[in-house]
């Protein structure tokens, strides 16, 4: 065997010498026609309207930040989508609208031939495949979404590409595994999946579906006893490499490019930790650049809370004292307030003092503070010591009040010793480092922990945030952790000089670099956990409204002419897709139960086709739809579009199955075909009817608009005259 | 099996469930996010053992003094100790191996967490009792499968149903075991369907038997326990405010009980309006104005939770100011779709809204009281609509869900649920929301209704039927559950903490002199469980791949793989079903939520290690193999017993210095820094 397999490619290599070079091109005119139609239909008057439409506001902002290389955080998804949009905007002159909308429109247009190809690869007839492509072509909601600078159509493109390349790969699997084509399609599956996930996290659902499908197919492969153990293992390895390792690597590379491109500090800096901010150019880095790394006795520092919620803030104190009695009648210590203040201020400066010594300057050489050391914290401007007593905190009565100690001579001695615990230490003798170390301050007398409670103080505390001493520290929480942000070695002995020193900017000479993985982890975590407060939107809807399209979104409205663009689907397609899903599920269950009783209604091949096609389409619809019921974020109709695409692909599958297997004789077959033609023309008609709302032109009169309001729940804007 | 020590202190959640037991004895109505069965049983146990329901249960650590609480604790402890024989029987039935069963049982006996949890008046031992009962009877009826429709088969099948009803009746976590039994039943039926020797009629019988025993029977029992709950709790109590006005009219002592008011709204009626959100207040206004800088300086309109004269409003026609109570006028009813004006009775100002932003919810419009003696402007007009009703219908007191749409701006009157600052007397904000959404925040109902010209009818007519109160109490429970959100900056237990025994729960006692009890699993047992899950997955994958690749197994190994895949699979599924859903829950989670999953994991440990040892023994020669098997089992048992000896003070109480102190008996046992004993 080995002999033949070696000589064969060799012969083939030499073969081209014996024959003339001939290029035979096979062009599927269906595909070309569909692509052209898709392009026309998506690109028609693309730069109209010349205005910012709906969420283009956000994407436009991100693109311009990209241009300026300014760092930002977008909680809606990973950076690949923004990067693609910014890439489109890159080669534009003064009016970037067309080029910014180019990429979404292009991906929207390419979805049409992709749909065709997918059905062909599923072994359905060209007729059915053509039908699927037409349905995608005439779907108003997909057109609207792809004609604007939004990411859904890019996402759908990558999802369909992933599905198509997996199907190509699977069809090659039977005849020629480990060939170039096989590797190509397998690799393309992985790449398309990672692009889909990189554009929007929703892509994860389809990725999971594909992984599951690949798992099932591999399971059949294991059962194939003609394959040797080694080749099964090779198959596993190839799949693991291309479907898991490659996507993960690609995903990381998106972030790598993102973080490399955006190196300037910007509006979202405050969300990130000090260490991250210091790695950006400008902003905090300008201040912290070159400040001493190791905190020593006598250091002047500002302490930032690591959690950064509800707002990032710094440990702060000021002259005012806690009111003697609170509004609810409880008493306080009447000592100087300690709060957390969300702005930079000279009152945020503290001095680290050795309890055994009087001086407030750094000795030469500096004595660094290490994990477990006991320190006092002196407020720079008022020179009072950070202190806590067994007095209830103003808003959290179960915790202790934190104050700066004033000696009133009333048998309440100062308790101002704090133990420094570095949480992210490597060894127990670690030095407390600027920016990098996350520190807990444990009160020596009561073992209370300095913590940000998250509540805002009333008027007397200037609405600053409350700081408490948590007595029963239930494990670690970021609100108990602090890091040094600004830092310098104190030099001034006298209070007056020191005040001047505190007001002056810091400067010194070391820079800090964060590794890519550390920055990636932090950014990823922030993207996943960042929550937008406002969950109400005029056009938000619930997943139940989507399936019947009870809702629409008004994207754009021209105040004078009354022209408008809506995200509104082709209602006939939506209804047919729902019916197709229902028919599929019922028929599937019926066949399944009957097969279990050993009654076969359809031949084995047809059954396998039915399962695989339906599994992909219904499965794709289900995984892209049902998870939304468990999500708590604000949802919009456009979240349904990926699911809808899968559902539309199901329609021709069901139709062809019905013609092939349920219409036994010729007459009903013909009648059925006629019905399908009629149905297709009505779909086209509905598309034409609603296209003024899709393209924003021609401008409709109030009566015409009213006539388009087919459902009472649709929100179509009609001008009052 | 286990002897439990009672304590004189009560702790942690006992404040909660003990109090509810007392409520049952005193028959006062209360609200809790869990279904009533567990608390009802606690109350019953207390009643039978002579507890009179007078202990106040105020804060953890109080002494019981002379109160007779042993009955309630003993009841919970008894149910908790039943878990051990249940686990023994389940594993014995599944694996047919005595040592596997003993291993699983000993894990539960010597787990400090299980002991601590079943010592107190809590819902968890009751829940776990029903849960294990359901699994046990499920396993039993599965093994009766060769004798379908025989007496034991029927017995175990219906017992499964009874236990399922018990499990969901105690806590909604019981739904996961319903899912487990459901999946098992579907698999069961699928197997039967594939058996061509059974006729369709027999299949139908099988299906009906399961539908009856596993769906209808539990549903009936579940409903019955709510019937008992509502029948027992017939006095007004602390839970009234959570429920709608119609619900409250059932309770003796509530001011809506046995009153009679006119049924349909008419112009000139004096009414109070209650917001439909849970614990929503009455529409309220008072002489005080909104402060400078908060919208327009007009009279405040708020939602107020208590009954007050300032809650009274008069319904007037929008275009006339006639006194409808004048005897010469004829009665005119308010109808769906009418445009009305609401005049505040005390201050004679109209309910008003305009395009100023609301004080707290910036995207909404401000609602104020405006005008003098009923004369205001066009911004005082509201359209009154009833949800799900046609135009022209009259509006009913209590029953109708009313929406008030502001005519000029199109916004809807609602209560945002946010508390106003001090200038608003910490009452709840009322806004006009421009987002047209069907939420209870924007719906109101009329509660009090005074109109001397209309005939009063008794509210008994309006009393809700049983299905309605059942539905309502479920809605309130679900909303209550999802309302238990952790606060920002609060340390909460995360699901990934649980299997690694990362952190326990302090039951009672903080200081050195206190009697301290700390809920923490026996770390050796828990880590063994954790390792076993990985081991099981590895073994199962190897076995299943080997079978798929067509490896020929000996009879002995075939049996072993059968046990591993089927019995182990069931336990694994149980563990997954009782653990994974917590990752998706938004509510506050506690360590003790893991215990149902831990039961499955312990049984899985028994089965897996027994299979592994048997497999090793099978590979070796006969005598050596037997010895390996015996010693292996013994070593595991000894390990568990010894670790229990080390950690037993956690559950039986510790007095003296903390574990960080080298003098403490627990010194050196604080293996993780996050344990706090």
A223–B488 C-beta distance less than 8 A? no
Q: For residues B512 and B658, what is the distance between their CA atoms, to the nearest angstrom?
A: 6
Task: Single out the residue of B56, B27, B59, B50 nearest to residue B40, CA to CA.
Answer: B27
Q: Which residues of A touch B489 (CB under 8 A)?
A: 307, 309, 451-454, 477, 479
| Best residue of B193, B489, B673 to probe chain A, by most A CBs closer than 10 Å | B489
Q: For residues B275 and B604, what is the distance between their CA atoms, to the nearest angstrom?
A: 50
Helix (H, G, I), strand (E, B) or coil at A303: strand
| Best residue of B431, B491, B659 to probe chain A, by most A CBs closer than 10 Å | B491
Of all residues in chain B, the one with the smallest CA distance to A229 is B549
The pLDDT assigned to A3 comes to 46
pLDDT tens, B103-160? 999 999 888 888 888 888 888 999 999 999 999 999 999 998 888 889 999 999 999 9
Count of CB contacts below 8 A, A vs B? 55
Q: Which residue has the tokens 């090793």?
A: B616
B277 CA to chain A: closest CA distance, Å? Answer: 17
Of all residues in chain B, the one with the smallest CA distance to A225 is B549
- H-helix or E-strand spanning residue A679: helix A666-695
The pLDDT assigned to B235 comes to 85
A479–B489 C-beta distance less than 8 A? yes
Q: Which residues of A touch B549 (CB under 8 A)?
A: 222-223, 225, 229, 232
Q: Which residues of B touch A229 (CB under 8 A)?
A: 549
B606 has pLDDT over 50: yes
Q: Which residue has the higher pLDDT, B461 or B174?
A: B174
A385 CA to chain B: closest CA distance, Å? Answer: 26
**Residue in B487, B510, B548 nearest the CB of A223:** B548
A219–B674 C-beta distance less than 8 A? no
B435–A537 C-beta distance less than 8 A? yes
Q: For residues B482 and A598, what is the distance between their CA atoms, to the nearest angstrom?
A: 47
- H-helix or E-strand spanning residue A677: helix A666-695
The pLDDT assigned to A92 comes to 54
What phi and psi values does residue B353 have, to the nearest 5 degrees?
A: -145, 155
> CB distance from A393 to chain B under 8 Å?
no
Q: Which residue has the tokens 């009072």?
A: A384
- H-helix or E-strand spanning residue B10: none
B359 has pLDDT over 50: yes
Over residues A133-149, the mean pLDDT reads 93
Of all residues in chain B, the one with the smallest CA distance to A480 is B489
pLDDT tens, B609-663? 999 999 988 888 788 888 889 999 999 999 999 998 888 888 777 776 766 667 7
ipTM above 0.90, yes or no: no
Q: Tell me how far apart the terminal alpha carbons of chain A are, to the nearest angstrom.
A: 86
Q: Which residues of A touch B586 (CB under 8 A)?
A: 632
Q: Which residues of A touch B676 (CB under 8 A)?
A: 472, 474
The pLDDT assigned to B371 comes to 86
Q: Which residues of B touch A452 (CB under 8 A)?
A: 489
Q: For residues A294 and A433, what is the distance between their CA atoms, to the nearest angstrom?
A: 5
Of all residues in chain A, the one with the smallest CA distance to B584 is A630
Q: Which residue has the higher pLDDT, B461 or B605?
A: B605
The pTM for the full model equals 0.81
Q: For residues A700 and A706, what is the distance between their CA atoms, to the nearest angstrom?
A: 10
**Residue in B434, B488, B491 nearest the CB of A475:** B491
Q: What is the number of other CB atoms lying within 10 angstroms of the CB of residue A429? A: 9
B431 CA to chain A: closest CA distance, Å? Answer: 14
CA-to-CA dists, residue B622 to A713, A714, B99, B320, B619, angstroms: 77, 78, 18, 103, 9
| Angle at which helices A140-147 and A641-657 cross, to 10° | 140
Task: Point out the least confidently predicted range of A71-75, A260-264, A274-278, B172-176.
Answer: A274-278
Task: Point out the least confidently predicted range of A308-322, A384-398, B185-199, B324-338.
Answer: B324-338
B196–A598 C-beta distance less than 8 A? yes
Q: Which residues make beta-bridge pairs with B405?
A: B383, B412
A545 has pLDDT over 80: yes
B506 has pLDDT over 80: no
Q: Which residue has the higher pLDDT, A106 or B8?
A: A106
CA-to-CA dists, residue B335 to A358, A405, A554, A570, angstroms: 81, 67, 33, 38
> CB distance from B196 to chain A under 8 Å?
yes
The pLDDT assigned to A30 comes to 87
Most confident of A237-241, A257-261, A383-387, B348-352: A237-241
pLDDT tens, A209-254? 999 999 999 999 998 888 888 999 999 999 999 999 999 999 999 9
What is the CB-side half-sphere exposure of residue A677 using CA atoms within 13 A? 6
Of all residues in chain A, the one with the smallest CA distance to B194 is A596
B493 CA to chain A: closest CA distance, Å? Answer: 9
Q: What is the number of other CB atoms lying within 10 angstroms of the CB of residue B149? A: 12
Per-window interface: B 426-465 vs A, CB < 8 A: 434-435
The pLDDT assigned to A356 comes to 86
B285 has pLDDT over 80: yes
A472–B510 C-beta distance less than 8 A? yes
Which ranges constitute the DSSP H helices of B620-660?
622-647, 649-652
| Best residue of A474, A532, A712 to probe chain B, by most B CBs closer than 10 Å | A474
Helix (H, G, I), strand (E, B) or coil at A616: helix
Q: Which residue has the higher pLDDT, A496 or B79?
A: B79
Over residues B521-536, the mean pLDDT reads 93
> CB distance from A229 to chain B under 8 Å?
yes
> CB distance from B674 to chain A under 8 Å?
yes
B540 has pLDDT over 70: yes
| Angle at which helices B217-232 and B151-170 cross, to 10° | 40
Of all residues in chain B, the one with the smallest CA distance to A224 is B549
The pLDDT assigned to A186 comes to 94
For A462-473, what is the HEC assignment?
CCCEEEEEECCC
The pLDDT assigned to A164 comes to 96
The confidence band for B597, taking pLDDT boundaries of 50, 70 and 90, is very high
Q: Tell me how far apart the terminal alpha carbons of chain B are, to the nearest angstrom.
A: 27
A222–B489 C-beta distance less than 8 A? no
**Residue in B435, B489, B549 nearest the CB of A454:** B489
The confidence band for B9, taking pLDDT boundaries of 50, 70 and 90, is very low
What's the alpha-carbon Rg for chain A, to the nearest Å? 33
Q: Which two tokens stand for residue B456?
A: 């009063």
**Residue in A310, A476, A536 nearest the CB of B435:** A536
The confidence band for A551, taking pLDDT boundaries of 50, 70 and 90, is confident
The confidence band for B89, taking pLDDT boundaries of 50, 70 and 90, is very high
Q: For chain A, what is the mean pLDDT? A: 86
What phi and psi values does residue A352 have, to the nearest 5 degrees?
A: -85, 125
Q: For residues B618 and B557, what is the distance between their CA atoms, to the nearest angstrom?
A: 8
The pLDDT assigned to B544 comes to 93
Burial of B373 (C-beta count, 10 Å sphere; 0-12/13-18/19+): exposed
A345 has pLDDT over 80: yes
B549–A598 C-beta distance less than 8 A? no
Q: For residues B290 and B311, what is the distance between their CA atoms, to the nearest angstrom?
A: 18
The pLDDT assigned to A12 comes to 58
What phi and psi values does residue B282 have, to the nearest 5 degrees?
A: -90, 145
**Residue in A309, A451, A475 nearest the CB of B503:** A475
Q: For residues A610 and A588, what is the distance between their CA atoms, to the nearest angstrom?
A: 8
A504 DSSP assignment: S
The confidence band for A72, taking pLDDT boundaries of 50, 70 and 90, is confident
- H-helix or E-strand spanning residue B74: helix B70-95
> CB distance from B59 to chain A under 8 Å?
no
Q: What percent of chain B has pLDDT over 70?
A: 89
Q: Which two tokens stand for residue B468?
A: 């309605």
Q: Which residue has the higher pLDDT, B117 or B3?
A: B117
The pLDDT assigned to A661 comes to 86
Q: For residues A276 and A280, what is the distance between their CA atoms, to the nearest angstrom?
A: 7
Q: Which two tokens stand for residue A569?
A: 């689907």
Q: For chain B, what is the mean pLDDT? A: 84
Per-window interface: A 499-538 vs B, CB < 8 A: 534, 536-538
Q: Which residues of A touch B417 (CB under 8 A)?
A: none
A508 has pLDDT over 80: no
What is the CB-side half-sphere exposure of residue A669 using CA atoms within 13 A? 10
The confidence band for A475, taking pLDDT boundaries of 50, 70 and 90, is low
pLDDT tens, B149-206? 899 999 999 999 999 999 999 999 999 999 999 999 999 999 999 988 989 999 999 9
B404 has pLDDT over 60: yes
Burial of A351 (C-beta count, 10 Å sphere; 0-12/13-18/19+): buried
Q: Which residue has the higher pLDDT, A594 or A454?
A: A594
Non-local (6+) Cβ contacts of A547 within 8 A are A578, A625, A640
> CB distance from B496 to chain A under 8 Å?
no
**Residue in A222, A309, A474 nearest the CB of B489:** A309
| Angle at which helices B70-95 and B124-143 cross, to 10° | 30
Q: Which residues of B touch A538 (CB under 8 A)?
A: 434-435
Task: Single out the residue of B481, B480, B469 nearest to residue B245, CA to CA.
Answer: B469
The pLDDT assigned to B507 comes to 74
A4 has pLDDT over 60: no
B409 has pLDDT over 60: yes
Q: Which residue has the higher pLDDT, A68 or B538?
A: B538
The pLDDT assigned to B71 comes to 81
The confidence band for B13, taking pLDDT boundaries of 50, 70 and 90, is low
> CB distance from A309 to chain B under 8 Å?
yes
> CB distance from B486 to chain A under 8 Å?
no
Over residues A145-168, the mean pLDDT reads 94
Q: Which residue has the tokens 């060769």?
A: B146
Q: Which two tokens stand for residue B184?
A: 């098992």
Q: For residues B111 and B90, what is the distance between their CA atoms, to the nearest angstrom?
A: 18
Helix (H, G, I), strand (E, B) or coil at A398: coil
Q: For residues B44 and B24, what is the distance between their CA atoms, to the nearest angstrom?
A: 8
A94 has pLDDT over 80: no
Over residues B237-241, the mean pLDDT reads 75
Query: CB–CB of A678/A516 below 8 Å?
Result: no
Task: Single out the residue of B91, B87, B48 nearest to residue B70, CA to CA.
Answer: B48
Q: Which residue has the higher pLDDT, A638 or B375?
A: A638
Q: For residues B516 and B53, what is the distance between their CA atoms, to the nearest angstrom?
A: 26
pLDDT tens, A219-231? 999 988 888 889 9
The pLDDT assigned to B63 comes to 64
Task: Single out the residue of B315, B549, B312, B637 nearest to residue A232, CA to CA.
Answer: B549
Of all residues in chain B, the one with the smallest CA distance to A228 is B549
Which ranges constitute the DSSP H helices of B567-621?
568-579, 595-619
Q: Which two tokens stand for residue A225?
A: 């006893």
The confidence band for A171, taking pLDDT boundaries of 50, 70 and 90, is very high
The pLDDT assigned to B10 comes to 44
Q: Which residues make beta-bridge pairs with B370?
A: B350
Query: CB–CB of A355/A324 below 8 Å?
Result: no
Task: Point out the least confidently predicted range of A696-700, B250-254, B510-514, B663-667.
Answer: B510-514
B12 has pLDDT over 70: no
CA-to-CA dists, residue B364 to A537, B410, B495, angstroms: 11, 12, 37
Q: Which two tokens stand for residue A189?
A: 């599956």
The pLDDT assigned to B1 comes to 37
Q: Which residues of B touch A219 (CB under 8 A)?
A: 548
> CB distance from B422 to chain A under 8 Å?
yes
Query: CB–CB of B299/B349 below 8 Å?
Result: yes
A452–B674 C-beta distance less than 8 A? no
């Amino acid at each position: 065997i080995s002999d033949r397999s070696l000589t064969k490619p060799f012969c083939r290599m030499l073969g081209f010498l014996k024959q003339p070079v001939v290029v035979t091109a096979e062009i599927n005119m269906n595909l070309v026609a569909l692509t052209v139609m898709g392009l026309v239909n998506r690109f028609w008057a693309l730069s109209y309207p010349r205005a910012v439409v709906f969420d283009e506001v956000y994407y436009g902002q991100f693109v311009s930040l990209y241009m300026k290389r300014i760092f930002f955080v977008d909680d809606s998804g990973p950076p690949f989508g923004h990067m693609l949009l910014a890439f489109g905007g890159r080669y534009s002159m003064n009016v970037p609208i067309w080029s910014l909308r180019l990429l979404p429109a292009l991906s929207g247009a390419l979805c049409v031939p992709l749909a065709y190809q997918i059905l062909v690869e599923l072994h359905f007839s060209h007729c059915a495949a053509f039908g699927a492509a037409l349905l995608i072509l005439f779907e108003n909601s997909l057109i609207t979404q792809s004609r604007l600078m939004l990411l859904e159509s890019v996402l759908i493109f990558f999802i369909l590409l992933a599905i198509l390349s997996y199907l190509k790969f699977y069809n090659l699997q039977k005849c020629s595994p480990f060939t170039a084509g096989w590797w190509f399609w397998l690799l393309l599956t992985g790449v398309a999946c990672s692009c889909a996930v990189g554009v929007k996290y929703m892509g994860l659902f389809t990725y999971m579906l594909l992984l599951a499908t690949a798992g099932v197919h591999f399971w059949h492969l294991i059962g194939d006893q003609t394959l040797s153990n080694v080749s099964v293992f090779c198959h596993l390895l190839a799949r693991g490499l291309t479907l898991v390792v490659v996507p993960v690597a690609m995903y990381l590379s998106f972030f790598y490019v993102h973080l490399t491109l955006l190196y300037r500090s910007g509006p979202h800096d405050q969300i990130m930790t000090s260490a991250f901010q210091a790695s950006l150019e400008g902003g905090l880095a300008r201040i912290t650049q070159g400040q001493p790394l190791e905190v020593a006795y006598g250091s002047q520092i500002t302490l930032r809370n690591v959690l950064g919620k509800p707002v990032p803030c710094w440990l702060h104190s000021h002259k005012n004292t806690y009111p003697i009695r609170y509004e609810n009648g409880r008493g306080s210590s009447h000592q100087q307030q300690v709060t957390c203040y969300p702005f930079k201020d000279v009152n945020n400066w503290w001095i680290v003092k050795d309890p055994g010594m009087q001086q407030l300057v750094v000795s030469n050489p500096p004595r660094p503070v290490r994990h477990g050391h006991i320190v006092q914290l002196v407020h720079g401007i008022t020179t009072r010591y950070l202190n806590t007593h067994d007095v209830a905190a103003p808003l959290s009565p179960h915790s202790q009040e934190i104050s700066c100690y004033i000696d009133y001579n009333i048998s309440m001695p100062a308790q101002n010793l704090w133990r420094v615990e570095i949480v992210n230490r490597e060894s127990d003798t670690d030095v407390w480092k600027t920016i990098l170390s996350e520190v807990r301050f444990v009160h020596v007398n009561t073992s209370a922990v300095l913590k940000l409670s998250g509540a805002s103080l009333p008027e007397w505390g200037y609405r600053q945030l409350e700081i408490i001493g948590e007595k029963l520290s239930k494990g670690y929480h970021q609100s108990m952790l602090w890091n040094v942000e600004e830092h310098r070695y104190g030099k001034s002995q006298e209070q007056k000089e020191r005040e001047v020193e505190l007001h002056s900017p810091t400067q010194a000479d070391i820079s800090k670099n964060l590794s890519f993985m550390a920055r990636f982890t932090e950014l990823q975590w922030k993207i996943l956990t960042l929550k937008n407060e406002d969950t109400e939107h005029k056009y938000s809807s619930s997943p139940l409204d989507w399936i019947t399209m009870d809702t629409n979104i008004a994207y754009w409205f021209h105040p004078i002419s009354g022209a408008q663009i809506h995200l509104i689907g082709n209602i006939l397609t939506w209804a047919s897709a729902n019916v197709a899903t229902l028919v599929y599920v019922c028929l599937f269950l019926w066949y399944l139960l009957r097969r279990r009783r050993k009654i076969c209604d359809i031949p084995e091949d047809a059954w396998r086709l039915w399962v695989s096609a339906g599994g992909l389409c219904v499965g794709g619809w289900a995984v892209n739809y049902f998870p939304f019921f468990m999500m708590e974020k604000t949802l919009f109709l456009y979240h349904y579009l990926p699911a809808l695409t899968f559902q539309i692909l199901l329609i021709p599958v069901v139709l062809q199955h019905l013609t092939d297997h349920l219409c036994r004789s010729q007459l009903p077959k013909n009648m059925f075909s006629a019905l399908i033609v009629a149905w297709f023309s009505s779909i086209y008609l509905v598309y034409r009817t609603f296209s003024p709302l899709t393209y924003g032109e021609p401008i409709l009169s109030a009566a015409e608009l009213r006539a388009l309001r087919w459902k009472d729940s649709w929100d179509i804007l009609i001008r009052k005259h | 099996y286990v002897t439990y020590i009672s304590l004189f202190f009560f702790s942690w959640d006992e404040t909660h469930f003990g109090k509810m037991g007392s409520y049952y004895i005193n028959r006062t109505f209360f609200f809790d996010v869990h279904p009533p069965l567990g608390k009802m049983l606690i109350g019953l146990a207390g009643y039978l053992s002579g507890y009179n329901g007078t202990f106040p249960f105020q804060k953890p650590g109080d002494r019981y003094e002379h109160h007779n609480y042993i009955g309630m604790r003993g009841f919970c402890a008894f149910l908790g100790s039943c878990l051990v024989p249940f686990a023994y029987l389940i594993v014995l039935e599944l694996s047919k191996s005595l040592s596997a069963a003993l291993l699983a049982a000993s894990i539960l006996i010597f787990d400090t967490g299980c002991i601590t949890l079943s010592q107190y008046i809590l819902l968890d031992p009751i829940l776990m009792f029903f849960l294990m009962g359901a699994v046990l009877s499920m396993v039993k009826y599965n093994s009766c499968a060769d004798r379908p429709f025989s007496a034991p088969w029927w017995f175990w099948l219906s017992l499964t149903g009874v236990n399922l009803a018990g499990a969901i009746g105690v806590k909604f976590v019981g739904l996961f075991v319903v899912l487990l039994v459901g999946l098992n039943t579907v698999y069961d039926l699928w197997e039967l369907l594939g058996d061509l020797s059974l006729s369709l009629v027999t299949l139908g019988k099988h299906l009906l038997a399961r539908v009856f025993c596993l769906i209808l029977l539990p549903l009936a029992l579940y409903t019955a326990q709510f019937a008992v709950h509502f029948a027992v709790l017939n006095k007004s109590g602390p839970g009234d405010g959570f429920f709608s006005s119609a619900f409250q009219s059932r309770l003796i002592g509530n001011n809506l009980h046995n009153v009679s008011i006119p049924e349909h709204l008419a112009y000139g009626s004096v009414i109070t309006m209650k917001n439909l959100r849970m614990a929503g207040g009455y529409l309220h206004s008072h002489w005080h104005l909104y402060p400078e800088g908060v919208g327009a300086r007009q009279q405040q309109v708020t939602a107020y939770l208590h009954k007050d004269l300032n809650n009274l409003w008069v319904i007037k026609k929008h275009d006339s100011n006639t006194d409808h109570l004048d005897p010469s006028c004829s009665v005119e009813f308010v109808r769906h779709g009418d445009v009305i004006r609401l005049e505040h009775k005390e201050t004679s100002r109209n309910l008003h809204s305009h395009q100023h932003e609301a004080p707290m919810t910036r995207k909404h419009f401000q609602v104020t009281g405006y005008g003098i003696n009923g004369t205001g402007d066009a911004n005082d007009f509201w359209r009154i609509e009833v949800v799900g009703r046609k135009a022209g219908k009259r509006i009913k007191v209590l029953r109708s869900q009313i929406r008030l749409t502001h005519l000029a701006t199109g916004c809807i009157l609602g209560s945002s649920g946010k508390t106003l600052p001090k200038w608003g007397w910490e009452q709840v904000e009322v806004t006009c929301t421009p987002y047209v959404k069907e939420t209870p925040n924007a719906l109101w109902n009329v509660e009090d209704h005074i109109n001397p010209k209309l005939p009063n009818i008794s509210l008994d007519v309006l009393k809700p039927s049983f299905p309605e109160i059942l539905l309502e109490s479920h809605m309130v429970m679900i909303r209550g559950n999802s309302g238990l959100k952790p606060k920002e900056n609060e340390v909460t237990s995360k699901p990934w903490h649980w299997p690694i025994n990362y952190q326990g729960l302090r039951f009672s006692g903080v200081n050195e002199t206190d009697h301290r009890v700390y809920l923490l699993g026996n770390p050796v047992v828990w880590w063994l469980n954790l390792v076993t899950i990985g081991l099981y997955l590895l073994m199962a994958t190897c076995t299943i791949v080997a079978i798929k690749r067509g490896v020929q197994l000996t009879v002995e190994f075939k049996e072993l793989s059968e046990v591993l895949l089927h019995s182990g699979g069931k336990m694994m599924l149980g563990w997954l079903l009782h653990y994974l859903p917590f990752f998706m829950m938004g509510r506050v989670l506690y360590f003790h939520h893991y215990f149902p999953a831990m039961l499955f994991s312990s049984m899985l440990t028994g089965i897996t290690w027994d299979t592994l040892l048997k497999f090793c023994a099978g590979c070796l020669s006969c005598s050596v193999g037997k010895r390996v098997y015996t010693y292996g089992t013994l070593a595991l048992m000894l390990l568990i017993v010894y670790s229990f000896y080390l950690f037993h003070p956690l559950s039986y109480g510790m007095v003296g210095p903390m574990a960080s102190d080298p003098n403490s008996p627990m010194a050196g046992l604080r293996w993780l820094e996050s344990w706090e004993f």
